[in-house]
Amino acid sequence: MSHAIRVHQTGGPEVLTWEPVAVGAPGPTELRIRQTYVGVNFIDIYFRTGLYPAPLPFTPGCEAAGAVEAVGAAVTRFKPGDRIVYNAPSGGYAEERLLEERYAVALPAEIPDRVAAGVFLRGLTVEFLLSHVYPVKAGEEILIHAAAGGIGLLFCQWAAARGAVVIGTVSSDEKATLARVNGCRHVIRSDRDDLAARVLEITEGRKLPVVYDSVGRDTFQASLKCLQPLGLMVSFGNASGPVPPFEIAQLGAMGSLKVTRATLGTAAAQPELYQRLAQSLFTMLGSGKVVAHINQSWPLAEAAAAQTALASRSTTGSTVLEV
């Protein structure tokens, strides 16, 4: 009997229960996957708490790596034994699972399962944000919040490789050092600095064309003050809570600013774009321009401890669950 983490009611980490589950044969377009590593992301917490609604009960987790055990009759791209990584709506916190073929991406031999599970969702998100939501150009000054987090470190490296001047926010000296090593040119301490004032100082009054914000409620208003006229605020997470309603007229008063709420789901719904984003990630990892930082791991059965650590912002880099 296989095991998985199940959620029968939304709430705190204690609602994550380790249970035996039956995993049947794959349907026509499905793969049966034996997983090796599972990524832990803030979106898992959003579903667990009910911020993002999901039918109960469910198995959380949207990214993992593993090997194909069996394939459905209509599957064309995979065979038993193939290594894959994926981003899917749910079902990741499991030893084995069924997965629709469209979510799976073939994993290159040179990329370990642990790395793939720890950076796939984040890496695809970074490429989507840097190349499609706002195409960052060499020499542009950009702001990345939570620069030492799992997505932040990838973001800093990737943006720096594109020639951007990266400004990052962090909450400790340790995280400041980590962000600088990974391509962050200027570091702002979110726990003590005035964000808008420091950005004005760093840019010598120019302000910024774009801000990338995965923090949400605590940083949104201050981030708007960092933007130059016609600048773009890219909100793509709620680590501190969802952004409260605001008067749209203030965007005009602050310089005809633009705001977008970006989600990887938009790209994942387009199969060709999804595969292109994955190949870009693999290329960056293979070139060494982006280095994965998998800094924490827990056994799959201890997913509650992993989510607790992530929510407390005590982690750096990526966190994975070992199956």
Q: What is the pLDDT confidence band of residue 111, given thresholds at 50, 70 and 90?
A: very high
Q: Which residues contact 142 (CB under 8 A, 6 or more apart)?
A: 136, 159, 164, 165, 166, 167, 208, 209, 210, 211, 212
Q: What is the pLDDT confidence band of residue 315, given thresholds at 50, 70 and 90?
A: confident
d(CA 103, CA 53): 21
> Worst-scoring range by mean pLDDT, 217-226, 300-309, 312-321?
312-321
Task: Indicate if the pLDDT at residue 102 is higher than 90.
Answer: yes
How many other C-beta atoms are found inside a 10 Å radius of the C-beta of residue 281? Answer: 25
Task: Indicate if the pLDDT at residue 145 is higher than 90.
Answer: yes
Task: Indicate if the pLDDT at residue 150 is higher than 90.
Answer: no
Q: What is the pLDDT confidence band of residue 98, given thresholds at 50, 70 and 90?
A: very high
Determine the Cα angle at 120 with ends 168 and 122, to 5°. 25
Q: What is the pLDDT confidence band of residue 317, given thresholds at 50, 70 and 90?
A: confident
d(CA 172, CA 194): 15
Dihedrals φ, ψ of 242, to 5°?
A: -65, 150
DSSP secondary structure of 58-126: B---SEEEEEEEEE-TT--S--TT-EEEEE-SS--SBSEEEEEGGGEEEPPTTS-HHHHHHHHHHHHHH
Q: What percent of the chain has pLDDT over 90?
A: 93
What average pLDDT does the segment 267-287 reach? 95
Q: What is the pLDDT confidence band of residue 137, given thresholds at 50, 70 and 90?
A: very high
- Identify the CA nearest to 295 among candidates 316, 309, 310: 316
Tokens of 317: 């880099």
pTM flag (> 0.85): yes
Cβ-contact 210, 257 below 8 angstroms: no
Tokens of 89: 């709506």
The dihedral through the CA atoms of 128, 131, 135, 141 has a sign that is positive
d(CA 310, CA 291): 20
- Identify the CA nearest to 164 among candidates 184, 147, 192: 184
HSE-up (13 A, CA, CB side) for residue 94: 24
Task: Look over the chain and give the mean of its residue pLDDT values, rounded to a whole number.
Answer: 96
Q: What is the pLDDT of residue 224?
A: 97
Distance from the Cα of residue 66 to its chain's centroid: 19
SS3 at position 155: helix
Q: What is the pLDDT of residue 162?
A: 96
Q: What is the CA radius of gyration of the chain?
A: 20
Place of tokens 């997983």: 35
Q: What is the pLDDT of residue 197?
A: 97
Task: Indicate if the pLDDT at residue 129 is higher than 90.
Answer: yes
- The residue ranges of every structural domain in the chain are 2-120+292-322, 138-261
Q: What is the pLDDT of residue 240?
A: 87
What average pLDDT does the segment 4-10 reach? 98
Q: What is the pLDDT of residue 316?
A: 85
Q: What is the pLDDT of residue 238?
A: 86
Residue-wise pLDDT tens digits, 16-58: 999 999 999 999 999 999 999 999 999 999 999 999 999 999 9
Place of tokens 């997505």: 151
Residue-wise pLDDT tens digits, 231-240: 999 999 888 8
CATH number of 138-261: 3.40.50.720
Q: How far is CA 65 from CA 133, 211, 246, in A?
A: 27, 31, 40
Task: Indicate if the pLDDT at residue 294 is higher than 90.
Answer: yes
What is 2-120+292-322's CATH topology? Answer: Quinone Oxidoreductase; Chain A, domain 1 (3.90.180)
Residue-wise pLDDT tens digits, 185-213: 999 999 999 999 999 999 999 999 999 99
Pairing assessment for the beta strands 227-235 and 258-261 based on DSSP bridges: parallel
Q: What is the pLDDT confidence band of residue 1, given thresholds at 50, 70 and 90?
A: confident
